[in-house]
C-alpha cells in the first residue's frame, strides 16, 4: 500500500511540475552570424530568467580560407533580463545577459582542429511580437581552451576564435509557443 501511495504521489507531483513548466514561454528558432549558424531553444522559468540552449555549426574560417572546415558546438546559457519595455499592443523588448558553458569541435587560428571547452557570456536584446515571433540581436564571446592532439601529446591553447568571433553580432529569429 505504501508503494502505491508513493507512486501516486510521485505521479501527482510530476504532473503539477510539468504543467508549471509547460505554462512558461518557450521559443525555438535559428541564429545567424559570420562565426556560425545554429538552432536555438529558449525557455523562461519566470518573467526575469530564462535558459537558452544552442546547437551551432561553426564556420570560423570556412568562408575566407580554402582549407577551412566546419565545426560543431553545443552551448547552454542562464540569462537574466535586466530591462524590459512593453508596448500597448503586447510587444515586449527585453535586454538580457548571462553566463554559459560551451563544448564542441572546431578550428582555431592556422586551421588547427580540436576540441573546444569554455565559459561563454551572452548579452543581447530580444523583441517578442504579439503574433508569436521573436527577433534577437546579441553577442556571445567565449573564454576557453582548444585541445588538439599532436605527436602523441595533447596540447591546450587559448581558443582565440571564441574571443574574436564571439564579439561579432548574432541575429536570430524564433517562434514562440
C-alpha cell at 44: 523562461
Segment 143-156 mean pLDDT: 89
The verdict on residue 2 lying in a domain is: no
Total domain count for the chain? 1
SS3 of the chain: helix, strand, coil, percent, to 5: 20, 60, 25
The whole domain housing 46 covers 24-176
The verdict on residue 16 lying in a domain is: no
The verdict on residue 7 lying in a domain is: no
Q: What's the pTM value of the predicted model, to 2 decimals?
A: 0.81
CATH number, residue 71 = 2.40.160.20
Q: Rounded CA gap, 38 and 44, in Å?
A: 20
The verdict on residue 67 lying in a domain is: yes
Q: Which residue has the higher pLDDT, 151 or 29?
A: 29
Q: Rounded CA gap, 65 and 120, in Å?
A: 25
Segment 4-28 mean pLDDT: 56
The verdict on residue 128 lying in a domain is: yes
Question: For residue 130, what pLDDT is reported?
Answer: 86
Coil, strand or helix at 132: coil
What per-residue string of b and e applies to 27-44 under the rule 16 or more CB within 10 Å gives b? bebebebebbebebebbb
Segment 90-111 mean pLDDT: 90
pLDDT digits (tens, 9 = 90+) for 39-83: 999 999 888 999 999 999 988 666 666 667 888 999 999 999 999
The verdict on residue 34 lying in a domain is: yes
What angle (nearest 5°) sits at the alpha carbon of residue 173, between those of residues 68 and 139?
60
The verdict on residue 18 lying in a domain is: no
C-alpha cell at 3: 508503494
Beta strand pairing call for 142-150 and 133-139: unpaired
The verdict on residue 6 lying in a domain is: no
Amino acid at each position: 500500500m505504501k508503494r502505491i501511495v508513493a507512486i501516486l504521489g510521485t505521479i501527482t507531483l510530476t504532473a503539477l511540475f510539468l504543467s508549471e513548466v509547460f505554462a512558461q514561454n518557450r521559443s525555438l528558432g535559428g541564429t545567424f552570424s559570420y562565426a556560425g549558424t545554429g538552432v536555438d531553444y529558449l525557455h523562461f522559468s519566470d518573467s526575469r530568467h530564462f535558459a537558452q540552449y544552442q546547437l551551432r555549426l561553426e564556420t570560423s574560417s570556412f568562408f575566407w580560407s580554402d582549407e577551412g572546415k566546419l565545426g560543431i558546438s553545443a552551448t547552454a546559457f542562464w540569462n537574466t533580463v535586466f530591462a524590459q519595455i512593453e508596448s500597448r499592443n503586447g510587444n515586449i523588448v527585453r535586454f538580457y545577459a548571462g553566463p554559459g558553458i560551451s563544448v564542441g569541435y572546431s578550428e582555431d587560428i592556422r586551421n588547427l582542429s580540436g576540441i573546444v571547452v569554455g565559459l561563454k557570456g551572452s548579452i543581447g536584446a530580444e523583441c517578442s511580437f504579439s503574433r508569436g515571433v521573436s527577433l534577437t540581436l546579441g553577442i556571445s564571446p567565449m573564454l576557453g581552451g582548444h585541445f588538439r592532439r599532436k605527436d602523441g601529446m595533447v596540447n591546450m591553447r587559448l581558443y582565440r576564435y571564441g574571443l574574436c568571433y564571439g564579439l561579432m553580432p548574432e541575429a536570430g529569429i524564433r517562434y514562440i509557443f
